[in-house]
Amino acid sequence: MSLIKNIKEVIDRKELVSYLLKSDLKIRYKNMSLGFIWAILDPFFMMLIYVLLISVIFKRGGDQYPVLLFAGLLPYRWFSFSLINSSKIILSNANIIKSVKFPFSILVINEVNIGLVNYFMGLIVLVPMLFIFKADFSYNMLFLPLIIAVQYVFVLGLGLIFSAIGVYFRDIQNILMFVTRLILYLSPVLYDLSRIPEKYQKIYLWLNPLASLFENYKNILVKGKSIDYSFGIFVLYSLVFLLIGMWIFNRYDNKFSKDV
C-alpha cells in the first residue's frame, strides 16, 4: 500500500517534475549554438555512420536499411541515455538530497522524460524518412503510443533500480556504458530479427526483452505489421522492473541522504 502512497507523492509533485524537465532542456540546449537541433543531429549522425558501414561498405541491409536502422536507433538511444544518466543521478544531486526531502524517484523520472523528449525530437527526422524510404503506411502505426508508453515503464523501472545501485556502487556507470553498447549489438537494431536462426528466436526474445521492443518499433513504423506476441514478453519485463524499482525506492530512498 505504501507503493500507492509513493505514487501519490510523485503525482502531488508534478510541478517539480515539469520544472526539472524544462530547466534541464533549457540548460542542455542553451549552451550550444545549434541549440535543440543537436537533439536531432546526434542520432542522425549515428545513423549515418552505420549506414556508411553496413550499406555502403558491406553492401548489406537492403533499400530500407536507413529507415529501419533509425526506427530502432531512436528507442535504443532513449533506453541507453536514460539508464546511464539515472545510474549517477542520486550522487550528482547529493547536495539537494542532503537538504530537501522530496520523492527522489522524481530525479529518475526526469532522466526518463528527457530521453522521451529526445525521442520525439528524433521523430522530426524519422517521419520524413518514412516517406523517402517508402515505408508501408498502415493503421498499425497507431500502436506507436502504446509502444512508447510501455518503453517508458521499462526504462523507468531499470532507471530506478540502477540509480539506487549507483549510490553504493560507483563503477556502475562505466559498466552500463559498456553493457548498453553490447546490448545494441545483441539486439535487432543494426540487423533484422530474421537474422537470428528460427529455432533460437524464442529463447532470444525471452533473454533480451529489448529485441522485441526494437523489432516491434520497426514492424509497426516501417513494415506495416502489427505488434506480435513477443511484445507481451516486453510488457512483462517492464512491469517486473518497475515493481522492483518502486519497491527499492519505497524501502531505501530515505537512506540515500546518509549514503551519498
Q: Counting contacts by CB under 8 A, is residue 92 touching another protein?
A: no
Evaluate whether 217 touches 146 at the Cβ level (below 8 Å). Answer: no
Residue choice 40, 46, 51, 96 for contact with another protein (CB under 8 A): 96
Q: Counting contacts by CB under 8 A, is residue 257 touching another protein?
A: yes
- Min dist CB 18 to another protein, Å, is 9
Q: Count the neighbouring beta carbons within 10 Å of the beta carbon of residue 183.
A: 19
Residue choice 36, 133, 168, 191 for contact with another protein (CB under 8 A): 168
Evaluate whether 40 touches 137 at the Cβ level (below 8 Å). Answer: no
Q: Counting contacts by CB under 8 A, is residue 33 touching another protein?
A: no
Of 27-35, 40-48, 123-131, 148-156, the window that binds another protein (rule: CB under 8 A) is 27-35
C-alpha cell at position 40: 536531432
Region 172-201 residues binding another protein, contact defined as CB under 8 A: none
Evaluate whether 66 touches 129 at the Cβ level (below 8 Å). Answer: yes
Nearer to another protein, 168 or 247 (CB): 168
Q: Count the neighbouring beta carbons within 10 Å of the beta carbon of residue 113.
A: 20
- Residue 227 gets which letter from DSSP? P
Q: Using CA atoms, how far apart are residues 184 and 19, in angstroms rounded to an integer?
A: 32
Q: Counting contacts by CB under 8 A, is residue 2 touching another protein?
A: no
Tell me which residues touch another protein (CB under 8 A): 13, 15-16, 19-20, 23, 26-27, 30-31, 95-102, 168-171, 254-255, 257-259
